[in-house]
Amino acid sequence: MPILEAKQITKYFHEPETVQVLKGVDISVEQGEFLSIVGKSGCGKSTLLYILSTMDTDYEGTLNIKGEKLNGWSQNQLARFRNENLGFVFQFHFLLPEFTALRNVMMPALKLGKYSYAEIEQRAIDKLRMVEMDGFAHKMASKLSGGQQQRVAIARALINDPAIIMGDEPTGNLDKVNSQRVFEIFQELARQNHQTIITVTHDQDFAAGSDRIIVMSDGQIVQE
């Protein structure tokens, strides 16, 4: 059974005029798969990702993640679901600038409240070590470089051991060396932890290294 299955995803943008951005997209992802979605700007790949992420609920079609049909859930229910099951890495790093790297990583776990404070702290340090950022744990997020911030953001995405990690151009803002580092982390997650990776990317090398590539054009999947 696929870990994520979306059927006939259709979406319109109404501003400034009504445009159909997604035209009945079907997509199914297995556990442990490293999937890249590529395509030209405006083809609807990011839009699709945000629908799959449960953050965008304004669409037609059905979405199942981990066997749960998520259509019709309230925003708060979806927030709890994301907290436990999904991790995000964005193009811009989106750390909370007033907090330390460690605190940023701990935040989703504190929200989940599954572990004690001490355990969460230990887990956060482990995740930071995985992305080789444990030396910067007590630095303010705003004091870190772009590549460092992105790695902290990945550690944050991993803190609750989510089934699926989603990335929206996770290397879009990074240089060659840092991009390579991020790619390696993702590959390791898929291979060793059997976590599912879904990324939207423009980076040819990044996409080429993933298990599966989906090419989108004009709101449809044109090539697998």
Q: Whole-number minimum distance, CB 104 to other proteins, in Å?
A: 9
Tokens of 199: 């990324």
Tokens of 206: 């990044």
Q: Which is nearer to other proteins, 56 or 218 (CB)?
A: 56
Q: What one-letter code names the amino acid at 174?
A: L
Q: Whole-number minimum distance, CB 111 to other proteins, in Å?
A: 6
| Position 53 contacts other proteins (CB under 8 A) | yes
Residue from 19, 79, 208, 222 touching other proteins (CB under 8 A): that is: 79
Q: Residue 143 region, left (φ>0) first, then alpha (ψ -120 to 50), else beta?
A: alpha
| Position 112 contacts other proteins (CB under 8 A) | yes
Q: How many residues bind other proteins (CB under 8 A)?
A: 31
| Position 130 contacts other proteins (CB under 8 A) | no
| Position 161 contacts other proteins (CB under 8 A) | no
Backbone angles phi, psi at 167, to 5 degrees: -130, 130
Neighbours of 55 (CB within 10 A): 15
Q: How far is CA 89 from CA 1, 68, 170, 186, in A?
A: 25, 23, 6, 11
Q: Which is nearer to other proteins, 105 or 182 (CB)?
A: 105
Q: Which stretch binds other proteins (CB under 8 A): 6-14, 82-90, 131-139, 211-219?
A: 82-90
In the chain, what are the helix, strand and coil shares in percent, each to the nearest 5? Answer: 40, 25, 35
- Give the integer Cα–Cα distance in Å for 47 and 148: 27
Contacts (CB under 8 A) with other proteins, residues 5-44: none
The interaxial angle of helices 117-130 and 146-158, nearest 10 deg, is 130
SS3 73: coil
Contacts (CB under 8 A) with other proteins, residues 165-184: 168
Q: What one-letter code names the amino acid at 103?
A: R
Residue from 2, 23, 64, 111 touching other proteins (CB under 8 A): that is: 111
| Position 50 contacts other proteins (CB under 8 A) | yes
| Interface positions with other proteins (CB under 8 A) | 46, 50, 53, 55-56, 75-76, 79-84, 88, 90, 92, 94-99, 107-108, 110-113, 117, 156, 168
